[in-house]
A = this chain, B = another copy of it.
Amino acid sequence: MLYCQLSSRFRIPYAVSLQPKTTWTSSNFSNEKSGHCTSVPRNANMEKLRSGYLFPEISRHELEHTQKCPHARLIRLGIGDTTEPIPEIITSAMAEHAHALSTVQGYRGYGAEQGNMALRRAIAETFYRDLGVKENEIFVSDGAQCDISRLQMLLGSNVSVAVQDPSFPAYIDSSVIVGQAGKFQEETGKYENIVYMKYGHDNNFFPDLSTTSRTDIIFFCSPNNPTGYAASRQQLKQLVEFAKANGSIIIYDSAYSTYISDESPRSIFEIPGAKEVAIEISSFSKFAGFTGVRLGWTVVPEDLKYSNGFPVMNDYDRIVCTCFNGASSVVQAGGLACLSKEGYRALSRVVDYYRGNAEIIVDTFASLGLNLKVYGGRNAPYVWVRFPGYSSWDIFSEILEKTHIVTVPGRGFGPGGEEYIRVSAFGHRECILEASRRLKNLYK
């Protein structure tokens, strides 16, 4: 009997085990003042965050469902968590580095906060060959999500921000935390000071820049999470021109670039002039199965300057040295092995495997008929399915209840995600096939 036991592979985030959903906002908070209270004011920015972070919310729904249907064989295509083993050449490199730390010859203490030079060089050669990105422009980190926060700390509260709508929630949440966002407006589902660049099937998954207000910062993710769409060269040229004309900085998230299977640019730095207007964040998480191992990087080009001419890179270097102490040396050894010829080849096979999953998911939804539209999956491990006229939370709930498959409601990524669900292609093949069967049965 096929049993898709993924439970132990997935985190059960804090919201489930630690606090009730209602503790975040002051309006929900009971204001119980038992015991000593300090006189320290709660950070007003924290107070502006909306209830739970999306993924813990999903987990809460999962948990409720599991309690209701304890014998259901849940298939989790929600949180985009990798499931396939890391090629041995990479884990061996980590093990070897760890072992060396127990020897007099092999022991090393602090590394450079910016990362080991060999790894920075390998990243430059692997991902930016012929693009003129230098190794000293690459800052190795413990992951893209952490880098988003560090970039927010760098920029401070006095900048304006635009995000794609829908988008990965960490851009907005970190923006709220540092005080760029303003108040949340229930009626629109948006923060007042954030510019939401709407995009979707009706505008070729690229925002209409002619009607987009100027902001200091533009968060842009391609291949996109959640839509799975990779921006074309022409679109990215427009974006770079727009940023240049407006004096904006693009923070380009390329965490899924290794999933690109066509001619779409893999880096913003493929676009001429981008080094004067863009920072790129990226990650080993989805490319190398390093979601729990933790490794990423950020490129801050020397040519990128503030309005007073001061190089952004110098301030970012200072942030990295003050607020971070470098990624783990053990993990960096693994990262270096990822970028060896053999390591990279082995990882490409894993990426192909997930791509195969994505294809099955795309085909499944496409075969269902109904009125739904299927996007993504070709250049990213996410499939973005539109159910015209339906609420995304309703679709999420229906699929969960009737097929025991966890997806993510598009609305969780912003107002622009309404009518959609995101389906992750990470998973064992047999689970993906079983999910396919269940969906076909449900809607046949």
Contacts from A to B (Cβ < 8 Å): 9-14, 17-19, 23-24, 26, 29, 31-33, 35-46, 49, 53, 56, 79, 81-88, 90-92, 94-96, 98-104, 106-114, 136, 142-143, 145-146, 148-149, 153-159, 170, 173-174, 177-179, 216-217, 243-244, 246-249, 273, 276-277, 289, 291-294, 303-311, 314-315, 317-319, 321-331, 334, 426
Contacts and interface: CB of A to CB of B under 8 A. Distances in A.
Contacts of A159: 40-41, 43
A42 B109 contact: no
Contacts of A325: 142-143, 145-146, 291, 294
A112 B14 contact: yes
Nearest to A20: B314
B44 A156 contact: yes
A54 to B, nearest CB: 10
A155 B179 CA distance: 12
B109 A10 contact: yes
A381 to B, nearest CB: 13
A130 to B, nearest CB: 21
A96 B12 CA distance: 24
Given A12-B112, A294-B326, A306-B37, A153 B156 contact: no
28 contacts: A9-B109, A18-B136, A18-B317, A19-B314, A31-B309, A36-B244, A38-B304, A39-B248, A40-B217, A41-B308, A42-B306, A42-B310, A43-B159, A45-B156, A81-B110, A87-B102, A88-B102, A90-B102, A95-B96, A101-B289, A108-B292, A110-B291, A142-B142, A146-B325, A149-B153, A157-B157, A170-B322, A174-B322
A247 B94 contact: no
A307 B170 contact: no
Contact of A40 (B12, B113, B216, B291): B216
B91 A99 contact: yes
| Among A11, A23, A294, A329, residue most surrounded by chain B Cβ atoms (within 10 Å) | A294
Given A110-B292, A315-B46, A38 B277 contact: yes
Contacts of A304: 38
